[in-house]
Amino acid sequence: MATDERFDELISTWLQETAPVQVPMRVLEEAALRTRTSRQKVGWRARLGWFLVPRSVFAIGTTAAVMVAAVLVLSPRLGQPEVGKLPTTPNAWSGVPIDSRWTTAQVDGLVAGPRGLLAILGELGSSDMQLSISTDGRMWTLVPNDQFPSPGVLWPHSGAQHLPAVGTTGGFLFVAEGNDVWASEDGYTWQRRADRAQDADLRAGAILAVAAGGPGLVAVGSDNKAWYSEDGSDWTLAEVPAPPTESFTAGGDAVPTIDMLGVTVAGDTLVAWGNAMATGAGGATPVEPVLWTSADGRSWTNVPDVSGVGWLRDVAAGPNGYVAIGGTGPGDTGRIWFSKDGRAWQPADTFEEGAGPMDLSIAATGAGYVAVGGEGLCAVEPCPNAVAAIWTSPDGRSWSRLLNEDLFTVADPRNSPNHSGAWATSVVSQDDHFVVAGAYDANPVVWISGTPGETEAPVITAGPSSDPGGFLGTWISTSDNDGGTQTMTVEPSTGLTVDVVVTDTIATVCSGTSSTMTGSGSVEGNLLVIPAPDYRCDDGTEATTPDGPPLNEQLQHLTYAYDAATDTLSVGIGDVWLREGTEVPTPAPQPSEQAMEPAPGSGTPLGWSSDGTRSLIQKDDQNLFIRHADGSETLVSEQPSEYERFPGSARPAGAAISPDGSRVVFAGLTTTDGLSCHHGALFAVSAEGGPAAVLWESQAASDGGIVRYPTFSPDGTQIAFADGYCDSNHSVWVMNADGSHAHQIVSSDVDPLGATHVHGLAWSPAGDEIALAVDGATYTFAADGSGATQSAEVEFCWPGRQC
Amino acid sequence: MRRDLVEAASHGDHEAFDALAASTGDRIYAIAFLILRAPDLAEDAVQEALVRAWKQLPSLRDPDKFDAWLYRLVVNACAEQGRQLRRWSQQVRALPTELSVGDHSTSIAVRDQLERGFGRLKPEQRAVVVLHYYNGFSASEIARILGIPEGTARSRLHYAIEAMRAALEADARQPVVA
């Protein structure tokens, strides 16, 4: 074999000889085209969002620090249009995945109202459905199906082309198959508002669409029927003229049935549309469009001349007038018609030549119109050729399609063994914005124009409403293990404002003398935020801090979270306060740092179920146990002893118990053969024990990397984790709790995640931000990876680690 | 001038970015091709790296580091393409070839063996080999480019070369296939 020098020369010569001289021009051209439709991301920059405070301020005599506060400020987003501007460019849109509990699903329908957005998610290939709600379309919360007596309640009537639901100032209203009417103030908690069995008018036909108009609410449906109601509790059949059957020019049977498919509102004018359906051997087929208008929703009149329109799919009322979309015959879609008044119609445009798009939907704001559809759809997944399409029009007459290839890159298709494309199912308008529902790579998604989060829509709060009551009283810290006692009193001030006083009989930062912190805070949901606490040593000396700026500066926006289920306060994730007089539960809801040093055999606590009855314990370095409230333990994972031969940064780290205490997810290796820093994976196991299943395998390298710190979102629906090599190339991922829809939210391409080690990962108490601790710094970002900021660079010790 | 282009591109100037891509396209394509040894995968990696560069450009804090940063994106894109390459490579069974001596065919045989030895490296190892032996970067420069510790860069390079030598020696011990 050649000498080292000769060998080096051989390799160098070989590479020089085999290297191409020029990049093919098509590569640069294609890249240039793709960048034209790609949005630049907001850069990482310093901002104090979550921040670090030396833990010694509150409890102990070490230099360890703990994250104590979450001030959740959304960063401004680039490339979005001014409010009210028609979103005609890809930069004006952004995609947001919605979690579902299925492997493949889509957003079946969407409802927008003053209180937010309601999406109905459907599993592909089954009839399972679930609701999800959002204030702004960017953060979504799944609504448990136990809100309804059976999941089947969520099924709309099979003939409905759009979701028979409406958003009003009072909340949301949803008409289930069979015409039972369900209502919710917040989208999360639902009650049956009208019972078909008790209302004869509701039994006259199937409600297919609902709108806010007339006396309050109007509905249209099958068999030429329409209804009206003031608040959804009592419905009355409206007067609808008999169908002008003599005008029908084609049909299978002698007398077609009439379905009123939809209704739209423009000022005081209501326009309803539908089709005359002829029933033949092949099922119902539309033969003629039918249109109605009404001034009050109580009585309707037919539009006498519908010769200008074809079979109707959807109609929207916008700034210039009404726009209808549909087709002219079997297999034909993509036609557009326009009307100034809803009565006289004329052809306006077509979306596509040749094979038209499917599932067309249209909506309007004051700025114009948006229509959506999809091409290349197929009946069975995967549908790699499925393409979502968005068209915009300022006047309803002339339309242009958005160049939107990159817009649909909201999920990583490489995570799916069978990649599907994207498709849109519907579009709605919310204030001055459009929200498109659909699927990308067979996962639910919405695409949003503009910045709906900045509207003045009231916030949906699925958790406790803003009420200082839970915070009021006297609290004792469970984390003060320096011999002193920390006591906090919270007293009402005005409205949602409270006065807070925290005393510490032995304060390390005051050289062991006592201290007092005072402040005025405001309650926001389940959070108490104290913008400017004033911390003083009682002997008049200056409080000292091991790192960073002065203490009072570090304490700004100190935030406590109240957990109604356990009646506890927590500061970030490390410090728990019990109401005075409450016995310390076993195990404690969160560990003190002393508790992190286990007695022989007791293990290291890694987390608790939200009700505090189960804790996850790690013993003997690796093995994981569930400790129950009675002190008994269940072995859930016996880790291979081979782990011990891997150095620290090469070893998998982290385990988490789900908030409901039913599952454990832990980092491990698929094989202990071969090199370190490879073969990492996440595993899931029942808290009752049993075999662990691989949930996700590392994608950091060709042989995988090391997965670290799986952590459940506070609502238990998602898991965040880090992937990477031992010391480089780290990225952050989020997946559904069942392992589906894993997607990277922070790329290893991002500069700060180069040469470093990952020390921890955690969700914010509200679940909308994630913190990542690496060497010398902590970064925080929204749960979708956007708006990343670096916190103060202080020494950091993650809860659960020895520092 | 180049710094101006980077700053303009980071503020959304497509023409400036096109100019940057054109000026570095040949170099990054060569790197991608040498790592992946397949033109179609290399084209995809370059295209992906350029699109990512456009998206992530606002996060680049020092415009003077654009070229090194782009190399990193290319190498990362190659690593992802490499997963496909790995699957592909597993279907290709390399036939052992005798290391000939003393005639004009020696270089061809060595090339073949180098190709096979290189083909057995992981994309991460290939990257440091290419950056060192083709681009001439030192281990410390490679560390900065890839955002990895210098020790990691050195060890990757060391193990890559050792692996190639071992592969070649193993090939040399194989009997000739008729």
DSSP A303-370: -S--TT--EEEEEEE-SS-EEEEEESSTT---EEEEESSSSSEEEEEES-SSSPPEEEEEEEETTEEE
Contact A192, A181 (CB under 8 A): yes
Residue A82 binned pLDDT confidence (cut-offs 50, 70, 90): very low
Q: CB distance B55–A41 less than 8 Å?
A: yes
CB contacts, 8 Å: B74 with chain A: none
Please tell me the distance in Å from B87's CA to the nearest CA on chain A.
Answer: 10
Distances (CA, A) of A145 to A101, A135, A164, A719: 11, 20, 18, 21
User: What is the Cα–Cα distance from A642 to A668, expressed in whole angstroms?
Assistant: 11
CA distance A75 to A84: 20
Q: Which of A8, A14, A419, A726 to mutate to test the interface with B (most CBs of B within 10 A)?
A: A14
Interface contact A15-B133, CB threshold 8 A: yes
Tens-place pLDDT, residues A492-502: 877 667 889 99
Whether the ω angle into residue A382 lies within 30 degrees of 0, i.e. cis, is yes
Which pLDDT band, with edges at 50, 70 and 90, does A125 fall under? Answer: low
CA distance B125 to B28: 17
Give pLDDT tens digits for A675-703: 567 788 999 998 888 788 888 988 877 66
Q: Do A19 and B73 touch (CB under 8 A)?
A: no
Residue A754 pLDDT class (50, 70, 90 cuts): low
**Is A197 in the B-facing interface, judged by CB distances under 8 Å?**
no
Mean pLDDT of A657-665: 91
Using an 8 Å Cβ cutoff, are A392 and A370 in contact? yes
This model of the complex carries an ipTM of: 0.86
Side chain identity at A685, as an amino acid letter? V
The nearest CA of chain B is from the CA of A373 a distance in Å of 27
Residues of B in contact with A754 (CB under 8 A): 72, 146-148
Least confident of A503-517, A544-558, B142-156: A544-558
Q: Does A777 touch chain B if contact means CB atoms closer than 8 Å?
A: no
**A 640-659 residues with CB < 8 A to B:** none
Residue A181: predicted pLDDT = 92
Residue A240 has pLDDT above 70, yes or no: yes
| A112 neighbors A429 (Cβ within 8 angstroms) | yes
Q: What percentage of chain B carries pLDDT values higher than 90?
A: 20
**C-alpha to C-alpha distance for A419 and A404, rounded to whole angstroms:** 18
Tell me the pLDDT tens digit for each residue of B85-132.
544 333 333 333 333 333 434 467 777 788 888 887 877 888 999 999
**Residue A599 predicted with pLDDT over 60:** no
Q: What is the pLDDT averaged over residues A638-654?
A: 68
Residue A27 CA from chain centroid, whole number = 35
The pLDDT of residue A355: 42
Query: Based on C-alpha coordinates, what's the Rg of chain A?
Result: 30
The model's confidence at residue A173, banded by pLDDT at 50, 70 and 90, is: very high
- What one-letter code names the amino acid at A781? F
Structure confidence at residue B172 (pLDDT) = 62
The C-alpha atoms of residue A445 and residue A121 are separated, in whole angstroms, by 10
B11-25 pLDDT, tens digit each: 888 889 999 999 999
Q: Using the beta-carbon criterion (under 8 Å), do B29 and A12 form an inter-chain contact?
A: no
Decide: helix, strand or coil at residue A663. Answer: strand
With cut-offs at 50, 70 and 90, classify the pLDDT of residue A38: low
pLDDT > 90: what percent of chain A?
A: 12
Question: A623: helix, coil or strand?
Answer: strand
Question: Which pair of structure tokens corresponds to residue A726?
Answer: 């031992």
What mean pLDDT, rounded, does chain A reach? Answer: 73
Is the confidence at residue A570, as pLDDT, over 80?
no
**CB-nearest partner of A751 from B28, B59, B161:** B59
Contact (CB<8Å) B54/A35: yes
Edge-first strand listing for the sheet containing A623-628: A604-608, A614-619, A623-628, A633-637
Q: What is the pLDDT of residue A357?
A: 55
Using pLDDT thresholds of 50, 70 and 90, give the confidence band for residue A718. Answer: very high
The pLDDT tens digits of the residues spanning A320-373 come to 889 998 877 666 778 889 988 888 888 888 876 444 456 578 998 888 899 987
Q: Which of A240-254, A374-388, A440-454, B66-80 has the highest average model confidence (pLDDT)? A: B66-80
Average confidence score pLDDT of chain B:
77
Could you report the per-residue pLDDT of A571-582, keeping only the tens digit for each?
Answer: 643 467 888 877
Judged by average pLDDT, the poorest of A111-120, A227-236, A294-303 is: A111-120
Greater confidence, A110 or A730? A110
Q: Which of B44, B55, B69, B108 to mutate to test the interface with A (most CBs of A within 10 A)?
A: B55
* Residue B160 scores a pLDDT above 70: yes
Looking at per-residue confidence, does B31 or A508 come out higher?
Answer: B31
pLDDT at A268 (0 to 100): 79
Q: Do B34 and A750 touch (CB under 8 A)?
A: no
Residue A228 has pLDDT above 60, yes or no: yes
List of chain A residues whose C-beta atoms are within 8 Å of the C-beta of residue B165: 1, 7
Q: What pLDDT score was predicted for residue A733?
A: 92
